[in-house]
Structure 1
């Protein structure tokens, strides 16, 4: 069966009926097995557009996952804001180690934000992927405003400030959203098929549903309105309590972890009118990382039985995950649809 991967993913995210569910990743895609086979590595693939494009498409080339996903971390925006970022090595992803800002009122967007750090690298990698592939959607992952604000003034600090100075937190998030929007406008120029906003600090494990609705939702809605690509919102952890708000933010899709039952997610989706599709929720921390291909198969088949719209890892794929487990995701989807 010949599949137009780009059209199939686009149609599903637009709520159209398709013959099969796509199997993609909207989260971190770089694994060590793929690096070894493609001659790429971290940290080089974080800074070199050719390596980034090659590694981003590696799970398509090696496992037939149906998209190319770049970049491989959530520190891009903070870096361009002036934060010091440790790019890591081997299988360790980049992390923010130092911010130039101490308080929300200190935060300002540098004049060269869009042209500094790795934003130009990512845009060039998108163009390379479009040149290499006619039938492979490119998904660019960006960071949600609340998580960016946490990078700028410290996650623990911003969570504490919610109870001490809520207006300052709102100001920090607003500036972070302005920066993210500026980045999105750069991406609009190179036209990735999908933008995935990952906002892990908005997780139900960290924020109450009320705080999520008051602090995260307005910024997530604002940046969604800037996007010209199809878009997916990914939030980690236990998100059942914020599921209605996630589904109502205006995104084409949401991405959830295994902590949320797929049948429940579909129930809420249907109650809200089926406008937003649900991606997920194949466990990255257990099944894809430490499980067997047969366990991956079982989890994929279960997710499909429960109505998942797009089969995908539940969060960023651990770098040490075996390639055969990624292949098992695709094989199980094929089995379910009789391909």
Structure 2
């Protein structure tokens, strides 16, 4: 008999408390084609319909075995709501931005968050899905909701080229945009928690050192992360793709309970940097391992993460749609077997 429920274990870990074993979760996207086929909840509909979104998300726990439920499955929810033109994708391609509303620096002054953005097609679907997931998962399973952070949104709304150029030539323009977007992120995150999410994951890879210099992150983004953590009333996780090692120390000071890292970050070294200030989540590769290798290699890499001291065992980023279900089950099973040795 387990000492804790899945939710209790998840929450205790994020709060830095002792547990009987490391949770095995996914704080990033969990939709794979095999689960779509088993539930009848296919992309692109499952990205836009709350019932199908919830059904596919629940399958990540009920069928695949992750010890949580997580939605949505794409990064375009707020981007489309704020004016990006989005292609809805296909059964194995996530929605993606095709065009963006901020074409020149002067457009930033005219940009405003719609007053009713929480009632848009995209945000309403996610909020309704979170409520459905919470009811169907019950009191013992943690529900996690993801949202793209201000840097990721700025790069989509202005285009990556403008985002990078302006950060160098006119950083104040980007900072003005980031500030407006962060206010929306805070409001959205709090409503996600009110609707039943147990934790929110801020996905903001475009703030990482693979995209902007650590100095830019510290001066332009870090203060906004502090604001987010101070004003969002629940458990908070930051996910940053790429090698985030150079900013881990600063991230640990931001106030996030968890930091989700890709496989490019060494877990042991990251633990030395972060210490007890935040918990580390990750970091088996979703593309090099979970998608393309067999269950034995998946299990081996999962055990390595556990041996290195990971706090929550998870994929290092969102799952590829064609990730084999058997690999996810092997991933979860590896955690169970680790505690039997």
Question: Is this a same-fold pair by TM over 0.5?
Answer: yes
Partner of 2:168 in structure 1? 163
CA contact 1:144–1:220 (8 Å) conserved in 2: no
How big is each residue's C-alpha offset from its partner over 1:82-141, in whole Å with a ceiling of 9 and x where there is no partner?
222112111101112222222322321112212113111111111111211222111001
Equivalent-residue separation in structure 2 for 1:332 and 1:185 (angstroms): 34
1:32-71 equivalent positions in 2, closer than 5 A:
32-71=33-72
SS in 2 for 1:41: coil
CA contact 2:193–2:200 (8 Å) conserved in 1: no
Partner of 1:130 in structure 2? 134
TM-score, normalisation: structure 1: 0.96
How big is each residue's C-alpha offset from its partner over 1:145-176, in whole Å with a ceiling of 9 and x where there is no partner?
11111111111211111111111111011111
How big is each residue's C-alpha offset from its partner over 1:159-215, in whole Å with a ceiling of 9 and x where there is no partner?
111111111111011111122122123213213011011101112211111111112
Equivalent-residue separation in structure 2 for 1:33 and 1:203 (angstroms): 32
Partner of 2:78 in structure 1? 77
Equivalent-residue separation in structure 2 for 1:262 and 1:112 (angstroms): 41
1:22 maps to 2:23: yes
CA contact 1:184–1:226 (8 Å) conserved in 2: no
CA contact 2:208–2:214 (8 Å) conserved in 1: no
How big is each residue's C-alpha offset from its partner over 1:228-285, in whole Å with a ceiling of 9 and x where there is no partner?
2211100000111111011111001000011011000111122xxx021000001111
Give the paired residue count: 336
Partner of 1:114 in structure 2? 118
Equivalent-residue separation in structure 2 for 1:107 and 1:266 (angstroms): 40
1:227 maps to 2:232: yes
- Give the aligned CA root-mean-square deviation in angstroms: 1.3
1:1-339 equivalent positions in 2, closer than 5 A:
1-2=1-2, 3-102=4-103, 103=105, 104-134=108-138, 135-270=140-275, 274-338=276-340
Structure 1 unaligned blocks of 5 or more:
none
Equivalent-residue separation in structure 2 for 1:223 and 1:191 (angstroms): 19
Equivalent-residue separation in structure 2 for 1:93 and 1:269 (angstroms): 33
User: Displaced runs of 4+ in structure 1, greater than 4 A?
Assistant: none
CA contact 1:5–1:137 (8 Å) conserved in 2: yes
Equivalent-residue separation in structure 2 for 1:225 and 1:94 (angstroms): 31
Equivalent-residue separation in structure 2 for 1:205 and 1:8 (angstroms): 33
CA contact 1:79–1:117 (8 Å) conserved in 2: no
Equivalent-residue separation in structure 2 for 1:163 and 1:120 (angstroms): 36
SS in 1 for 2:121: coil
Structure 2 unaligned blocks of 5 or more:
none
